Amino acid sequence: MISNELAREVSFLSSALNRQIGLLINRKGEISMIILGDARSIFIPSLDAFRAASTRFRGLRLIHTHLTGEGLSEEDLTDLSHLRLDLIGALQVREDGSPGKLFWAHLIPENPRGDYWLVHDPQEPHRLDLNFLAFIAALEDEFARQQKTRRIEAAEKAILVRVEKNPLAGAEASLEELRQLAKTCGVEVFDTQIQYRPQIDPKYVVGRGKLAAIDLRATQIGANLLIFDHELTAAQVRSIADFTGLKILDRTQVILDIFARRAHSREGKIQVELAQLKYLLPRLLHKDPSLSRLAGGIGGVGPGETKLEIDRRRVRERITRLEKDLKTLARSRGQRRGRREKSGLPVISIVGYTNAGKSTLLNTLTQSAVLAEDKLFATLDTKSARLRFPRDTEAVITDTVGFLRHLPRELFSAFRATLDELAEADLLLHVIDVTSGQFEEQMAAVETILEELDIADKPQLRVFNKADRFEDKEQLAALCRRFSAVAASALDKTSLGNLLEKLEEALPNTNFSGRSFCARETDLEDESTES
């Protein structure tokens, strides 16, 4: 670990200078860096030149002197974990300048006790019998072996992080939802971390100490990604990334990624790109003076637009162009809506929390083939079909994008044209996953968005979906009475009879007197197959 001769020399110099001396030693036994501190501490400079992979250490061990005879401090152990050192040692310096005992510690793999490091009993350097290279190789192999026991098919392996002010605010439920969002993106979630504190740290979101612990946890389990259940600023992302060396995402980025994967129609793709650009614009902060453009020609007055300014201008121009395209598509949508109104068919719009079973219900009611998956945001593009009631009357029923708590502002703004379609509906069919432990909170989130769209007072029928999975039927009946809802199962067509009756009763002008029911099939096709 350290030779007797080197221990004597560094102890003598440290005593003579009355300063701590640190030695960074590589695995060849060579001194890569000498650090001169003060009487109480040393300052370790950047070690970016010695990059560490997720399954291995830095390739450096730090041996530094202690002048007051103390062992390893909390700061020493923090440096061990944050810098991913092979090990750290504190060498006591006696009053006569000779070396005393060596206190040393190293990181350990995931264990039942939840320990991050192992502190060994101190020994005098000449009594320490350790084959360091064999020891560190075995330790790295153990880290790698334990990490392989986890499911690591996914390229991204994440830890989810949330800060919560109120312990009763449902942080676990929010993180579980984030876990499902990450799963939809193909991310493997290895762990979740919640910190309760009065307010979010402006630099690191969580406290510096908590972030160091999360970084160490990532090292233990082989995670390479941190996903925060908050919207992060560009400065926060940069600070956290610099501190941990890990990839950093926030909740909004995950949702934007899902939307980008799910959008298929032209309008859907435009809306997603618009949301992505609006999210990106305030985060273009990487200004590089070397990229400044000089004003050309006679009369130039010095530096012109920087690369940052050009990037911002191009993003703004692209946003303007996309917004114009959306307005054009909105006019086309309005023309289709006008043709649909002339047909005289009432319109039912399905709304609800994401993954509540809206698309499955549409398929069962109309014998359609709309994509329905057990994933969040499986449906982004509006789909319409005819619904025939038992009394041979008809309506148009439309599936819409699922809602979500804390829906990003950029997404809400970009999809407003699509969501405005709800204002033209005669009836809203609010689909609720009654088996969710958070169904009341999900209902409230949907109602909040409807209020923001100024359509909360529109006729609405609630349906408690997935009733076949609800074991206590008496409790289900009580919930239906309490919330004025209809119980049904989108997977069981025989359970939808009562729902169809309630739908027909809830529609205005139930007898449809004076209205035509000869809507052209092309009108519905245009609605579901946008160019």
188-201 pLDDT tens trace = 898 999 999 999 99
Query: Do residues 142 and 161 share a domain?
Result: no
Q: Which of 256, 278, 300 is the last residue of a domain?
A: 256
Query: Do residues 109 and 192 share a domain?
Result: no
Q: Does residue 516 register a pLDDT over 70?
A: no
Query: Do residues 138 and 220 share a domain?
Result: no
At 293, the pLDDT band (50, 70, 90 cuts) reads very low
Query: Do residues 218 and 90 share a domain?
Result: no
Query: Do residues 114 and 176 share a domain?
Result: no
Say if pTM beats, i.e. exceeds, 0.85.
no
Q: Which of 256, 288, 323 is the last residue of a domain?
A: 256
Q: What is the DSSP letter of 283?
A: G
Query: Do residues 176 and 66 share a domain?
Result: no
Tell me the two tokens of residue 429.
């069919």
84-120 pLDDT tens trace = 899 999 999 999 999 999 999 999 888 888 788 899 9
Query: Do residues 489 and 363 share a domain?
Result: yes
Does a structural domain hold residue 76? yes
- Cα separation, 84 vs 61, whole angstroms: 9
Query: Do residues 135 and 206 share a domain?
Result: no
Query: Do residues 503 and 380 share a domain?
Result: yes
Strand order in the sheet with 427-433: 383-388, 394-399, 347-352, 427-433, 460-465, 485-487
Inter-residue contact 91 to 61 (CB < 8 Å): no
At 463, the pLDDT band (50, 70, 90 cuts) reads very high
Query: Do residues 504 and 356 share a domain?
Result: yes
pLDDT value at position 15? 94
Mean pLDDT over the full length of the chain: 80
Q: Domain containing 178: what range?
A: 157-256
pLDDT value at position 211? 92
Q: Does residue 20 register a pLDDT over 70?
A: yes
Counting the structural domains of the chain, the total is 3
* E strands present in 112-223: 117-119, 157-164, 188-196
Query: Do residues 356 and 488 share a domain?
Result: yes
We report the CATH number of the domain holding residue 419 as 3.40.50.300
- Percentage of residues of the chain with pLDDT beyond 70: 80
> Looking at residues 49-65, what average pLDDT do you find?
78
- Give the least confident one: 3-7, 199-203, 370-374, 410-414: 370-374
At 370, the pLDDT band (50, 70, 90 cuts) reads low
Instruction: Give the distance from CA 155 to its chain's centroid.
Output: 15
What are the angstrom distances between the C-alpha of 342 and each of 347, 393, 458, 516?
Answer: 12, 16, 21, 8
